[in-house]
Chain A
Amino acid sequence: MKQTVAHRCLRLLRCVWLAAAVAGSVVHAQVAMPVYSAEHALTGLYAHHLPPLSQAFQLQADALVLATQRHCEVLPGLAAEAAQATEWVRLHTQWRDTMAAWEALSTPAVGPVLTRRSQRQIDFWPTRPELIQKALDKAPQHLADMERVGTLAKGLPALEFVLAAWQPVDLARARAFDARELKPGEKPKPVPLVNRPMPAATCQYMVLLAQGVHVEARELAGELSTWAAKDWQAQSQADVEVTRAALVEWLNQWLGGVERLRWMHIEKPIKTVQTLGNHAKGNLPRFARVGRDANLAGWRAQWASLLEQGRLTVAHRQHPPVPGQALVPIEALLLGKGHIALAQRWVQALDAVSARFAALPDSAPSRAADQRQLLAVASALKAVTVLYQNEVATALDIPLGFSDADGD
């Protein structure tokens, strides 16, 4: 079976966590770490780390366009429910892999992802169903027509929403659902709306949404190549300030990425449901994605990316990143500055998050257990934030814009 991006992210997390668990603290500082400069860090990030992620996202976005086009072509000819369901899963899997590749590239959001406001362009959530319906009413045919559609009805979340709305339903289960609480003698209602064919205009809208994501992936790759070619070596005082600002941006956005994952993606949806009172009792948290597998894939992709930028791999401990030739994670910056003990605590905090993520089951447990496990992930992420704000940023001499420690 083809290995998906989501599965690769999960495997990476588990490998990192297991390696850390096996190796324990002896993995630290076996090899002297170079002193890395801001130029090394930025070259590693923009020239070596992000381009492969950008290429991966572009490939997935290409595949998503093809998959939606194919979906629209074959769907009318599929009479059997099983065939429809298989086709739906195939497209949804491609959507999920595209989303995970996007999360990996855009977490944390730096460089062209920020300047283009790409998160807003293709990943605004929650999407607005009423605006999607409005857009569908206009029956856009070409990408140019989509310029009149707002970002709140476009991008990956809108595509997922449409796809989820047309997920084939098991008819037997649907009838059983409608048969609940029937009075004696009352017949189950027919289920006329279940599994009706997706209108061609709706399918075309999905194609246009996928094409929009593809265009953004291509534009990002183009702009990223400029960032990758940039010489961060300062030639003047103005260069020093530019390089310094870019380093500060990366390290601030890394923390912003952690907080976005912790608060926006995981904790806020749970707290929102918990605080809405009795009238909302029983409501499920509205996470960024519709299904559990998609949410897990998205969270894990985000964390895998943050982890890669935060922590050295076991191999890198033996052979530290070559300055200017590889990504320099935050741990390497700390070790290069001589903060050995802090780097160890840093790795422990990161590994605690990895362990929490690795422990999340693919299938949701009971609601209470699910929320408890997710809040434990959030708590581990919060510990990373606090350590970063209180000690790591200071050790790296970086002012924080995201900090909880400043005023207002």
Chain B
Amino acid sequence: MPMGTDPLTCVELDRRAWLQRLARGVLGLSMPLFPALAAAAQAGRGDAAAHRLVACWDDADGAHWAGWLHVAQGHTRVHRAVNLPTRGHGLARFPGDSLLVVARRPGDWLLRVSPQGPVDWVWAEPGRVFSGHVWVSGNGQTVFTTELDTETGNGLLGVRDARTLTKTAEWPTHGKDPHAVSSMPDAACGEGEAAHPLAGALFVANGGIDTSLETGRTKRHLHRMDPSVVCLNPANGEVLGQWRLADPRLSLRHLAWAHHSDGQPVLGIALQAEHDVAEVRQAAPLLAVLDWSSVAEGSLTAAAGQPAWGGYGGDVVAWPQGHPRDESVVGFALSATRGHAVLRFDIRGRYLGHTVWPYAGALAASGQSVWAGGASGVLAWAEVSHWGAGFSGARIDNHWIAV
């Protein structure tokens, strides 16, 4: 086990009461469910702000949910939960406080829900399945969904009218197995004071693994993997760039934007290793960074100096690098789900250390805090680590968002 574990305060909590409420259907009440969390928060420095998180999770009976969780003063409240027909996965905030949730790949549905309003469902058309992730354009007018053509297995980016969620166009992602989609921040800087030439452009992580509708999530032809990150013009889907790692067995999956102190962007990408040899797979890097600071066209490289963490990166977020008062200096936090830890990297992908967190999955960053989901509950992690709280019984899916 790698050394350098950060100190944690974790409290195991009984979630039976909450699960009983879940079993009765949609939760709409705002009531404290984790009183022990309060004590935990007060015992620590407790400077992680109150947070609302939107997430998907499975309860102990295997039922699937999406909704709003509120963590404050040690209490976790479920503000609203919607029962899902299958497992949910990707989420996106939507103007007006509503939320988009999409089914895990190969998925059939996309839904929009607000804390109080009705639920709007969209079902994948014949010949298409959702691939688990959704993104809302900066102006809020367009929704992008990663999808698969079930005939060819090729990746597609569905372009949807944000008002109706109806599809207006489809663009190829130029790879198989598309996962997350994200835009380079409009404020990203290029050389000097100029805006970055790709600011506002769409980036899609093509996992590169072949699957077919008949065999669901079973991975096929791993020796022909071709993962990549592709950059698309958000106006017409034109390819503006495409990057590959030297090792094609590193599947590129989830995305987070950070930036250097001069504002130049860096894209952190969580990896999943698919090597045939277990030892190679276990020791594989879990983060890649796409950086334009030294190469104008952008350079995609795998993380350096990372110990073996099980070969599976779950989620990734930009994270304050250790200078809490200098928010311009950031790195990445990444959940090593099979390594049971949250890892930290600097902005260039150099490994910094880890915090043990069983089945670490969903990550969300807000200010100086990182919120990590896992088998043991919710880890609220301000600066380094101040307090944690058990969240056992249900399993939070791989992603969540602080709202």
Q: How far is the CB of A190 from chain B (nearest CB, A)?
A: 36
**Is B105 in the interface zone, CB < 8 Å from A?**
yes
Q: Is there an interface contact between B215 and A407, defined as CB atoms closer than 8 Å?
A: no
Q: Are A404 and B105 in contact (CB under 8 A)?
A: no
Docked CA distance A206–B358 (Å): 58
A151 to B127, CA, bound (A): 11
Q: Is A222 an interface residue (CB 8 A)?
A: no
| Interface: B86 (CB within 8 A) | yes
Contact A152 B215 (CB under 8 A): no
Q: How far is the CA of A259 from the CA of B109 in the complex (A)?
A: 16
- List the count of A-B residue pairs having beta carbons below 8 Å apart: 70
With the chains together, A402 CA to B216 CA distance in Å?
Answer: 6
Give Cα distance in the complex from A126 to B108, angstroms: 14
A263 touches B (CB below 8 Å): yes
Query: Does A117 belong to the interface (CB within 8 Å)?
Result: yes
Contact, CB under 8 Å: B214 / A119:
yes
Interface range, A side:
20 to 34
Interface mask (B115-130 → A, CB under 8 Å = 1, otherwise 0): 0001111010011000
Scoring A113, A128, A386, A408 by chain B CB atoms within 10 A of each residue's CB, the highest score goes to A408
Known: A109-B214, A401-B218. A272 touches B62 (CB 8 A): no
**Residues of chain B with a CB closer than 8 A to A259's CB:** 216
Question: Which residue of the partner chain, among A125, A126, A252, A407, contacts B361 with CB atoms under 8 Å?
Answer: A407
Complex contacts, B263 vs chain A, CB 8 Å: none
Kindly provide the distance from the CB of B98 to the nearest chain A CB, expressed in whole angstroms.
16
Encoded as 1 (CB less than 8 Å from any A CB) or 0, chain B from 59 to 86 comes to 0001000000000000000000000011
**A128–B126 contact, CB under 8 A?**
yes
Which residue of chain A is the closest to B64 with respect to CB atoms? A404
Tell me if B218 and A404 are in contact (CB < 8 A). Answer: no
> Which chain A positions have C-beta within 8 A of B337?
407
Give A406's nearest chain B residue, CB to CB.
Answer: B217
Distance of B167 from chain A, by nearest CB (Å): 16
Contact partners of B126 in chain A: CB under 8 A: 125-126, 128, 152
Q: A126 to chain B: which residues have CB within 8 Å?
A: 126
Cα separation A126 to B215 with both chains bound (whole Å): 19
**On chain B, which size bracket covers the interface?**
35 or more
In the assembled complex, which residues on chain B have CB atoms less than 8 Å from the CB atom of A253?
Answer: 215
Q: Is A276 an interface residue (CB 8 A)?
A: yes
A277 touches B105 (CB 8 A): no
Q: Is B58 in contact with A120, judged by CB distance below 8 angstroms?
A: no
- Name B202-223 residues within 8 Å CB distance of A: 212-219
Tell me whether A408 and B58 are in contact in the complex, defined as CB-CB below 8 angstroms, given that A120-B214, A256-B215, A268-B108 are known contacts: no
* Shortest distance from the beta carbon of A375 to any chain B beta carbon, whole Å: 11
Q: Chain B 212-242 against A: per-residue CB contact (8 Å), 1 yes, 0 no?
A: 1111111100000000000000000000000
A to B CB contacts below 8 Å, 13 in the list: A109-B214, A117-B214, A119-B214, A120-B214, A252-B215, A253-B215, A256-B215, A275-B121, A276-B121, A386-B62, A401-B215, A402-B216, A408-B253
Known: A114-B215, A271-B85, A401-B218. 14 other contacts (CB 8 A): A119-B214, A120-B213, A128-B126, A151-B151, A152-B127, A252-B216, A263-B85, A272-B123, A275-B121, A277-B120, A401-B219, A404-B87, A408-B104, A408-B179
Residues of B within 8 A of A (CB): 58, 62, 85-87, 89, 104-105, 108-109, 111, 118-121, 123, 126-127, 132, 151, 179, 212-219, 253, 312, 314, 337, 361, 398
